[in-house]
């Protein structure tokens, strides 16, 4: 699949870090260092189109209110995260240290949705399929 991965005799598995230009982990070699990775992740979360940017459209009835309720990261916090992450990367040769940088696993999750919750907090038709809505009636 052309994913970049690194190997090291200390690791039990190869460490995939992403597909350049398509899906990149927030770690070297896709970023110069963990400080740059921390800044990029912050922009991804709070910048244009980010999950915590109030201007990003969403499925909630009041998406702007939900998105802007997340606390922005302070420079002190980002510095602390970057320092710890760089230490881990320098010490173990990858980030995070004990698991792969990107999990490449297939899985299936099954559960019953709380339809009333979604009807209360989300726009109609934005959060579940008809099959979800009819599940209890059809299967139980």
Domain match, 19 and 71 both = yes
Q: Which domain holds residue 55?
A: 4-105
Long-range contacts of 38-47 (CB under 8 A, 24+ apart): 38/78, 38/81, 38/82, 38/85, 39/78, 39/82, 42/73, 42/78, 45/70, 46/70, 46/72, 46/73
Domain match, 85 and 113 both = no
Tell me: the pLDDT tens digits for 39-83?
Answer: 999 999 999 999 999 999 999 999 999 999 999 999 999 999 999
Domain match, 101 and 112 both = no
Into how many domains does the chain fold?
A: 2
Domain match, 92 and 115 both = no
Domain match, 101 and 114 both = no
Domain match, 52 and 115 both = no
Domain match, 65 and 16 both = yes
- Give this prediction's pTM: 0.75
Domain match, 79 and 68 both = yes
Lowest pLDDT segment from 91-95, 101-105, 119-123: 101-105
């Amino acid at each position: 699949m052309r994913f970049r991965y690194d190997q090291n005799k200390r690791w039990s598995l190869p460490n995939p870090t992403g597909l350049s230009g398509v899906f990149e982990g927030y770690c070297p070699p896709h970023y110069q260092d963990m400080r740059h990775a921390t800044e990029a992740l912050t922009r991804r979360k709070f910048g244009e189109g980010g999950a915590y940017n109030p201007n990003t459209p969403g499925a909630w009835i009041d998406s702007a209110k939900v998105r802007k309720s997340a606390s922005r990261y302070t420079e002190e916090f980002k510095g602390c995260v970057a320092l710890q992450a760089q230490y881990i990367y320098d010490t173990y040769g990858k980030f995070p240290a004990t698991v792969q940088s990107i999990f490449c696993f297939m899985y299936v999750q099954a559960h019953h949705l709380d339809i009333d919750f979604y009807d209360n907090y989300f726009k109609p038709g934005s959060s579940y399929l008809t099959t979800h809505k009819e599940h209890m009636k059809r299967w139980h």
